[in-house]
Structure 1
Amino acid sequence: MYDSICHPDDFSWKESDFPGVTNKVLNTNPNTGGLTVLTRMDAGAEIPAHHHDIADELVYVLEGDFIENGQHYRPGTVFFAQAGTKHGPHHSQHGCVVLTQFSKTLDFVLD
């Protein structure tokens, strides 16, 4: 049996610190602080280059065009980054939605 079941429609999009970027936190692990998050980037939105000192990160492109450090990626692409790995900037030309899993408490450090 699963510990938790949810559907994204049960959550509201919340504004982030970056214009045109909204999030839905789908799950928080009470033991590790890890998160599962849907992120929506509007056309032209950007998340600046950064890293996470604590959390490993997995990103799965669900829809749209996700641009990582100037390279375009399509739905189905998966990214992995261990804690401390610099990544980004992230852009979207036409808009996108990604699913992100953080292994531990999310810390966001601009590079």
Structure 2
Amino acid sequence: MNQEMTQGRVLRAEKVTFSPFSLPGFTGGTAAAFLNTDTTQAPFVALLRLEPGAVLARHYHPKAIEAVYVLDGEMINDGERLARGSMLSHGPGVLHGPHATETGCTLMFIQYPGVGPDDSVFV
């Protein structure tokens, strides 16, 4: 058994890098950092920074369960304001969003089995 499988994986904060990121259905400034993409070892985990005024359109994921945690700032989900420390979660096929921000925010997405290009359906 390899060391990572027996001891887990550590990603230090100084190694986290954000890059511009957008999908159809995103408007405004967005950047992402992908913390884990190997869903054989753990859920998919990503951080998403939204600049003030950014919006992620209403959508659903046919396959993945998802939890979204507000790390900083304020996210508006379908008109409801979610302050830092708030969490939104749902199962496959559940419509959610739009996700927006007036102030800017950083969100942590935890998804299993992971969301790829074929598992985000914008409506």
**Matched position secondary structure for 1:59:** strand
| Pair 1:6-2:2 in alignment | no
The AA in structure 1 aligned to 2:8 is: D
* TM-score, normalised relative to structure 1: 0.90
What corresponds to 1:103 in structure 2? Answer: 112
Contact kept? 1:55, 1:103, Cα under 8 Å: yes
In the superposition, relative to structure 1, how do residues 102 and 57 fare at CA in structure 2: closer, same or farther (>3 Å)? same
Contact kept? 2:39, 2:112, Cα under 8 Å: no
Contact kept? 2:35, 2:46, Cα under 8 Å: yes
Question: Which of 26, 33, 36 matches 1:27?
Answer: 36
Q: What number of residue pairs does the alignment pair up? A: 111
Q: Percent identity?
A: 27
In the superposition, relative to structure 1, how do residues 91 and 14 fare at CA in structure 2: closer, same or farther (>3 Å)? same
Larger-gyration structure (1/2): 2
Contact kept? 1:34, 1:103, Cα under 8 Å: yes
In the superposition, relative to structure 1, how do residues 95 and 31 fare at CA in structure 2: closer, same or farther (>3 Å)? same
The 10-residue stretch of structure 1 (86-95 or 22-31) with the greater mean CA deviation from structure 2 = 22-31
Q: Deviations over 1:8-39 (max 9, x none)?
A: 43132122223311110001234278410001
What CA RMSD, in Å, does the superposition of the two structures yield over aligned residues? 1.8
Structure 2 regions of 5+ residues with no counterpart? 1-5
| Pair 1:45-2:50 in alignment | no
Greater helix share, structure number: 2
What corresponds to 1:15 in structure 2? Answer: 20
Partner Cα distance (2:108, 2:7) in 1: 19
**Matched position secondary structure for 1:102:** strand
Partner Cα distance (1:80, 1:49) in 2: 14
The AA in structure 1 aligned to 2:19 is: K
